[in-house]
Structure formats: C-alpha cells, structure tokens
Chains A and B, each alone.
Chain A
Amino acid sequence: MLNRILPFFLFIWICLVIIGAFLYAPLAEGLGELTRVLYFHVPTAWVTVLAFLTGAVFSVLYLKSKSIKYDYYAESASQLGFVFCILATITGSIWAKMSWGSFWNWDPRETSVFILLLIYAAYFALRSAVEQEDKKAALSAVYSILAFVTVPFFVFIVPRVYTSLHPDPLVNPEGEIHMDAKMLTVFLSSLAGFTVLFIWMIRIKMNLVLIHLKLKEMEN
C-alpha cells in the first residue's frame, strides 16, 4: 500500500520544490535568476555521488558473495549515476553560459566532471567488452570500486585545490551554510526529493534485474 502512495507523495513534493524554486525562494544577491539553477544542479550532483557510491557498495557485496544480482545492481546504480552526472553537467553548463558567458570553459570543476564521465563510460565499455558473465562481473566490480575512489577526489578535492570560477561550496570551511532561510528550505527539500527519486528509480531497476534473473533461471 505504502509503495503505491509514496510515488504520489514524491510527485507532489517535487512539484512543490519546483514551484518553491520559482515563486517562493528569493533570488540571491549578484546571481539574479541564475539562483534557480542551484535547486536542481546541486541535487543532481549529489545524486550522482550517491549513485556511484551505491554502485561501489553493490560491487563490494558482489565480491563478497559472488551473487550475480549484485553485479546487475551495481551496473544499474552506475547507469543512474551516469545519467544524473550528465544532468548535473548540463545544468552546470547553463549556469556557466549565463554567469561566465560560455557553456564550457575547461574550469577545474568542469574538467573534473568530464574526467569522471569518461571513467564511468570506460566502466560500461569494460562491461560490454567481456562476454563471460563471471569474469565480467568480477572485473566490473573491481573497476567500480576503483572508479568510486576517484569520485571524492574529482568532485570535492580538485575544485577546491585549483582556482575555479565555480561558486564557493554551500558548506563553507567553518562548516556553516550561509543561505537565506527560504532558499535553504527549498534547497534541502529539493535534495530530499531527488534522493527519494533516486531510491525509487534504483528500486525499479533492481526489480527489473530480479525479473531478468528469474527468466534466465526458467530458461535453464
């Protein structure tokens, strides 16, 4: 029952976030209309990290249990992470065009996201290159864990080490968030909404994996 109602709550929740981003939250000083991108760009970037982390966790579970379903789960999580990473890149590019005058500037933040996309594109290339299922799963699991090690480096460390045009992170070095209360409400609601959206999407993909495995089992 809860499974049937929850999607509708999510639908209303994200509708409210969208309306809040456009009509409720005030515009930040110096950013103007660009402020609204924040409520979609940061949550997509957050879900990217969350999805790649989920992929790495499933990979560890595969290596521990050798259960093939975890390999498929890891692939599903990485696919979602890749899609959200592209969305974060697109929303970031829109921001860059409006703020810096160009969609792409090879800024450290943009370069690090581009490398991250290449790393995960290589993960999918690796999966399609190996035919033997056990070998593919083992290689992909190890690669996925190694790929995730680079995520904090490219997402959090590189943009902070090099001078970047990208705005300062929301949580400053003192660990405080300097944001208007209304903006913070919409922002946190958006983060929560996108996180639940990711959980819903990964659950659909996981159910599809189980159906695929059941069909394979029945064929055999």
Chain B
Amino acid sequence: MEPVYVVLFINLVIWTGLFVYLYKINNQVRKLNGKLQNLQKK
C-alpha cells in the first residue's frame, strides 16, 4: 500500500476517534442537563 493511503487512513481513524469521543461527551452533557432540570423542577 502506498504511504499516502496509510497516512490518509491514520488521519481518518484519528478524526473518527475524536468525533466519537466528542459525540459521547455531548450526549452525556445533554442527559445530565436534562436530569438537573428535572431535579430543579422537583
């Protein structure tokens, strides 16, 4: 395999990893925010 494809693949893997990490945090923050709002209402 040509080096350019290897580097391209590594870049895509890094970006996918970063995206999954951010997406998970985003969902957790959203859920936590919802829970807190419910607690405040009670």
Give A residues with C-beta under 8 Å from B: 7, 10-11, 14-15, 18-19, 22-23, 33, 36, 200-201, 204, 207-208, 210-211, 214-215, 218
Interface residues of A: mostly helix, strand, loop or mixed?
helix
Range, interface on chain B: 20 to 34
Contact B36 A18 (CB under 8 A): no
Per the bound structure, the CA–CA distance linking A218 and B7 in Å amounts to 49
Give B residues with C-beta under 8 Å from A: 4-5, 7-8, 11-12, 15-16, 19, 22-23, 25-26, 29-30, 32-33, 36, 39-40
Contact A208 B11 (CB under 8 A): no
Given known pairs A33-B4, A211-B33, the reply for A218 and B22 (CB within 8 Å) is no
Query: In the complex, what's the smallest C-beta–C-beta distance from B21 to chain A, in angstroms?
Result: 11
Per the bound structure, the CA–CA distance linking A200 and B7 in Å amounts to 26
Given known pairs A211-B32, A218-B39, the reply for A18 and B19 (CB within 8 Å) is no
Contact B40 A218 (CB under 8 A): yes
Contact B29 A207 (CB under 8 A): yes
Contact B8 A204 (CB under 8 A): no
Query: Other than the known A15-B12, A204-B22, what 20 A-B pairs have Cβ atoms closer than 8 Å?
Result: A7-B19, A7-B26, A10-B19, A11-B15, A14-B15, A14-B19, A18-B11, A18-B15, A19-B8, A22-B7, A22-B11, A200-B26, A204-B25, A207-B30, A207-B33, A208-B29, A210-B33, A215-B36, A218-B36, A218-B39
Per the bound structure, the CA–CA distance linking A218 and B4 in Å amounts to 54
Most chain B beta-carbon neighbours within 10 Å: one of A14, A19, A218: A14
Contact B22 A7 (CB under 8 A): yes
